[in-house]
Structure 1
Amino acid sequence: MLLVVGLVLLGVFLLRFRKDRRRLSNGVFLLLGLAFTGVWLIGSGAKGDLPVVLAGLLVLLSPLLVLVLAGLLIVNGGQMIRREGLRVANLLPLGLGVALLVPYVLLGVAIFTRDIWVVVILASVTMAVSYIGFLFASFLLYSLFYGSLPYRPGMDAIVVHGAGLIGARVPPLLASRLDRAIEVYRAELAAGRTPLLIASGGKGSDEAVSEAAAMAGYLIEHGVPADSVVLEDRSTTTRENLLYTKQLLGERGESTRMVLVTSNFHILRTAILARRLDLDAEVTGARTAFYYLPSAILREFAAVVIAYKWINVIACLALTALPVLALVLTRDMPHHYGD
């Protein structure tokens, strides 16, 4: 039965992926399909009491793994603050690491006080954390899958998203995006196409020139013909990058089929946003420094959760209400263990 459920879920994933690969729900079906199929594989190859032993080990190791993850996030948060400065975005790994410790603190209080309401609060928090954790696992898995897909030539425009300047200088993060855009441009040339290369990004208050101008200079210096480079220098967000680029291409009478070039941690959210804006676009990513990835991925995930905030709020409220509802339905239960 587990195998049937797993294969059905994977089949749904493949159908939805063929229709449109830019959906977060694809990751949900992929994760569930792999989970059911994996459990079936473990169970089918096990003999005797091994499945029970494996399940027991999983139960025992899960809390330890969460504690290890919390410790790694706290360490990474400290590293981000040292390297990038004390900013809200850089506090995300540290904050999540501390948040993962909250259920264990509540569990300790519940054991110490033996109060059933503390247990209910713990269960409610755990339900919400588990839901967010499942979404994050789906997001991370599908981001890795989407990012590993090979680039398919056939685009009319290559759009490079800005990532901030240091004065007028292109920093490493933005340079990696531009280098990836040049690779894509050359792949299109090899396929017999001559796409436009659009540098997209406005001017920040601490920047000497617009991101688009600095990016265009970098592209031309690295061998891209000047007449193939177009500037979009008004945008300040990813959403504006996409909308202004679509408008720019429409004004030029060009096809709006495009590939969006960004950092690897940013590809899935960009793809989801492009789909929501009804753009004919795919996304490819450039590599990012490893130390920067945890914080960046968490920011991307938080932005996706906020984008679908009402669905997630309703789901969390429903799940956190379940333990309270269970206690109300069994209100004759004693308020302290052992009574």
Structure 2
Amino acid sequence: MFAFVPAAVFLLLFVVGVLRDRRRFGNAVYLGLAVTSFGIGLLAGIDDAPPGVAETVMIVLLLALGIGPVVLAGLLCANGVKMVRREGRSPANLLTLLAGLGMFAVMGLAIAAALTRSPVLGVLVGTTLLVLAYVSFLFLCFVGYAYLYGRMRLRRDADYVVVLGSGLIGGRSVPPLLASRLERGREVYETLAARGGDTPVLIASGGQGPDEELPESHAMADYLVERGFPAGAVVREDRSRTTEENMLFSKELMERDRPGSSCVIVTNNFHAFRAALSARRAGVDGQVVGSPTAAYFWPSATLREFVAVFLQYKVVNIGICLTLVLFGILAWAVR
């Protein structure tokens, strides 16, 4: 029973964190630690399981550890190839392909270390696996909590609906990715308006990129108005270039017209949790909801979002990674 105490403690911290503010990466880490501790607790009590259960669990774990990485690496490479074919060869579109090839490289290095019995290769593989274990744990925390966050109930009321912009096709047309955000924003607006009270305002947030003929917010507003959305209910925030600026400049508009107002922020589902983190840092009182994204686009976009969040906490994360590397160097020095 005591084996499950850490899981209970981390679960309590998770619940308290969510009640205080849903938009914290610490919530994701507490959830991950709770699930991990629970799994360790189950394994600690495996000897008391009925006959055959322990053997079955061990076989499943060994298969997962042995075959799982190979299957995952293959799927990442396949997705990377599809991304390049459909979206082009930008660095962001190469993420899943590079991740898959990197996994195959580490597996090849591990095989080489086992065959040659090289101490140097052994330490290199061990250190690499330690760093990958830490990064993978954070990634699973990120994906798991982002999934939960995206399914939390929409707040009961809000003064604004803020739709975040993205790039335009041909410098002036709304692409499908942005159209899905706008349609989701319309749904949220109509839901809030139907609850009575003050009529909400929709803010189209997006500035003009160097290859665009007009600000994204203008194209977004035109898209909505052309499809019957009331023109007087749309405000254009046309200065922002990043998610952080989306939040800051939209907050200025909200505070100017309705001080102390709250909002619902709309983006794509893969971007929702990182946008929530940005909203919290900017001091925006807003919940973030996501719109659907094509399945093939999701893995690469999720990796990109995780990298951005990882680097937001770069002092801690890079510090821990360097500490793990230092352990590897010390292990090699005292071998």
TM-score norm. by structure 2 comes to: 0.93
Determine if the alignment matches structure 1 residue 263 to structure 2 residue 276: no
Q: Which residue of 1 aligns with 2:240?
A: 235
**Which letter does structure 1 place at the counterpart of 2:245?**
E
**Is the Cα–Cα contact under 8 Å of residues 156 and 255 in structure 1 kept in the other structure?**
no
CA distance in 1, matches of 2:322, 2:40: 29
Q: 1:149 aligns with which of 148, 152, 173?
A: 152
Q: Deviations over 1:73-127 (max 9, x none)?
A: 1110000000001111101001111111222111122123211121011100000
Q: Deviations over 1:183-207 (max 9, x none)?
A: 1111111111311100011122332
Q: Which residue of 1 aligns with 2:25?
A: 24
Gaps of 5+ in 2: none
Determine if the alignment matches structure 1 residue 272 to structure 2 residue 277: yes
User: Quick one: structure 1 residues 104 and 10, their matched pair in 2 at CA, closer, same or farther if it must change by over 3 Å?
Assistant: same
Q: Which residue of 2 aligns with 1:169?
A: 173
**Which letter does structure 2 place at the counterpart of 1:133?**
S
Identity %: 43
CA distance in 2, matches of 1:2, 1:60: 25
Deviation (angstroms), 1:291: 0.6
Q: 1:61 aligns with which of 61, 64, 71?
A: 64
Q: How many correspondences in the alignment?
A: 330
Determine if the alignment matches structure 1 residue 119 to structure 2 residue 110: no
CA distance in 2, matches of 1:55, 1:325: 32
Q: Which residue of 2 aligns with 1:201?
A: 206
**Is the Cα–Cα contact under 8 Å of residues 155 and 287 in structure 2 kept in the other structure?**
no
**Is the Cα–Cα contact under 8 Å of residues 180 and 291 in structure 2 kept in the other structure?**
yes
CA distance in 2, matches of 1:239, 1:48: 56
User: Quick one: structure 1 residues 38 and 223, their matched pair in 2 at CA, closer, same or farther if it must change by over 3 Å?
Assistant: farther
Q: Deviations over 1:199-223 (max 9, x none)?
A: 0111223323221111111222333
CA distance in 1, matches of 2:120, 2:213: 58
**Which letter does structure 1 place at the counterpart of 2:205?**
S
CA distance in 2, matches of 1:79, 1:224: 36
**Which letter does structure 2 place at the counterpart of 1:101?**
F
**Aligned-partner SS, 1:259:** strand
Determine if the alignment matches structure 1 residue 296 to structure 2 residue 301: yes
CA distance in 2, matches of 1:325, 1:223: 66
Q: Which residue of 1 aligns with 2:6?
A: 5
Deviation (angstroms), 1:320: 2.2
RMSD, matched Cα: 1.8
CA distance in 1, matches of 2:327, 2:62: 22
CA distance in 2, matches of 1:271, 1:96: 26
TM-score norm. by structure 1 comes to: 0.92
Gaps of 5+ in 1: 332-339
Q: Which residue of 2 aligns with 1:248?
A: 253
Q: 1:135 aligns with which of 135, 138, 160?
A: 138
**Is the Cα–Cα contact under 8 Å of residues 123 and 331 in structure 2 kept in the other structure?**
no
CA distance in 2, matches of 1:67, 1:56: 17
**Is the Cα–Cα contact under 8 Å of residues 10 and 30 in structure 1 kept in the other structure?**
yes
CA distance in 1, matches of 2:294, 2:181: 12
User: Quick one: structure 1 residues 314 and 306, their matched pair in 2 at CA, closer, same or farther if it must change by over 3 Å?
Assistant: same
Q: 2:321 aligns with which of 313, 316, 339?
A: 316
Structure 1 segments, 4+ long, off by >4 Å, are: 38-45
Q: Which residue of 2 aligns with 1:106?
A: 109
Q: Which residue of 1 aligns with 2:226?
A: 221
Aligned counterparts, 1:11-90, within 5 A: 11-40=12-41, 43=45, 46-48=49-51, 50-51=53-54, 53-90=56-93
